[in-house]
Structure 1
Amino acid sequence: MGHSQADKAATRARVLRITSRKIRAEGVTRPGIAELMKEAGLTHGGFYKHFASRDDLIAQAAAVALAEGSAKMERAARGNEQSARAGLVDAYLAKRHRDRPATGCALVTLGAAAGRGDEQVKQAYEKQVRAYLELIEGLDGDSEDARAEAMLTLSALVGAVLMSRAVADEDLSDELLTTVARRLKEPAPGTVTAG
């Protein structure tokens, strides 16, 4: 008896979820098909019922990983009633985000791979960059140069997490997160503040 379409879709979604976590934690070159399928409770042979190739799986998993970040960023921005910007910055530059790359923002872990990757991965990455820029730009609505500030903010967020994960010195790692967070929460140039 064959699997129903719903079972097939659920299996595919499970493989994509597992792969999206693996590539955030280990990069796009590391996880092999056999390892991923074993973790999903499937055989290597079953892989081709769901994906055309490993590259197809990686591209789709990258899109899943990147898209998961939007909801998290929006929740973080809404989590601080006094300042949506501060809420977003604090959540993104938290130690728990640094310490959990498998569930963290894929812009950090997939940046280099997207730069060297196929067009599908680049398009998924670009789509997420644009979504984050739009979200951040909306937080600085009174800024004279909200787009430029959004670009600077997003670059600082991603760069700070990337570097904080890459350095061996835990104190320096923590300092990167706290210093960048503090500076990003300062009013943007040209922002009208009550006072």
Structure 2
Amino acid sequence: MGHSQAEKAESRDRVLRIAARRVREEGMEQPGISALMKEAGLTHGGFYKHFDSRDDLMNQAAARALADGEEAMARAARANADVPRDGLIDAYLGARHRDTPGTGCALVTLGETAGRGGAEIKEAYEKQVRGYLDLIGAPGGGAEDRADAMVTLSALVGAMLMARAVADPELSDELLGTVAERLKQGSGTP
């Protein structure tokens, strides 16, 4: 790859990284092309050298944001070698995850958008849901393990969504702490 091609690839990657962060923070409706390009240190006019349209960028940014979240969840699971599921729960339902949505799980931010979106965003969202279910569930587990993984993932995403949305910091902390405790006790299933 020539020097100019390498620079172009780095610029494109920088725009995608910034857009993925902004998608996790604000959803797909907010980030404008001008603001994203300015933050990347590029001009608005150079946008079309990298992407076909704003929708193209947003779909790629959403897919990247979702994939980044799966990598973070896998790292969190590995952090507790004895009980990987508990490591994942602690990291997901922690104050740091709540307070830094730009580096957090995009399932929380993109659920509604994916539900209303086209096939591309739905497929990216589904891929991450399936990946998380595999990560949470016992390898080679049966229907009961899969059901537990579904309840756990739903509780993780729902608790984080609510913890970010409420105004009372004590209630936010209580939501995260209570759901984490119940999931680790195994009482998150109906």
Fold match (TM-score > 0.5): yes
Q: Whole-Å Cα distance in 1 between the matches of residues 42 and 88 of structure 2?
A: 38
2:144 is matched with which residue?
145
Please give the TM-score of this superposition, normalised by the length of structure 2.
0.93
Once the two structures are superposed, the pairs formed by residues 50-65 of structure 1 within 5 Å of their partners are 50-65=50-65
What percentage of residue pairs aligned between the two structures are identical? 66
Asked if the contact 2:151–2:188 (Cα under 8 Å) also holds between the matched residues in 1, the reply is no
Higher helix proportion (structure 1 or 2)? 2
Q: Whole-Å Cα distance in 2 between the matches of residues 31 and 70 of structure 1?
A: 23
1:94 is matched with which residue?
94
Q: How many residues align?
A: 188
Q: Structure 2 vs 1, CA of residues 178 and 158 (structure 1 numbering), >3 Å: closer, same or farther?
A: same
Q: Whole-Å Cα distance in 2 between the matches of residues 58 and 18 of structure 1?
A: 11
Q: How far does residue 138 in structure 1 lie from its aligned partner after superposition?
A: 2.6
Which whole-Å deviations, capped at 9, do the CAs of 1:70-91 have from their partners, x for residues lacking one? Answer: 2111111111132111101000
Amino acid at match of 1:20: A
Q: Whole-Å Cα distance in 2 between the matches of residues 142 and 115 of structure 1?
A: 28
Please give the TM-score of this superposition, normalised by the length of structure 1.
0.91
Q: Whole-Å Cα distance in 1 between the matches of residues 119 and 143 of structure 2?
A: 34
Q: Whole-Å Cα distance in 2 between the matches of residues 12 and 151 of structure 1?
A: 35
Runs of 4+ off more than 4 Å: 141-144
Q: Whole-Å Cα distance in 2 between the matches of residues 154 and 123 of structure 1?
A: 18
Q: How far does residue 35 in structure 1 lie from its aligned partner after superposition?
A: 0.4
Asked if the contact 1:149–1:188 (Cα under 8 Å) also holds between the matched residues in 2, the reply is no
Q: Secondary structure at the match of 2:137?
A: helix
1:39 is matched with which residue?
39
Q: Secondary structure at the match of 1:67?
A: helix
Give the aligned CA root-mean-square deviation in angstroms. 1.9
Q: Secondary structure at the match of 2:185?
A: coil
Q: Whole-Å Cα distance in 1 between the matches of residues 91 and 83 of structure 2?
A: 12
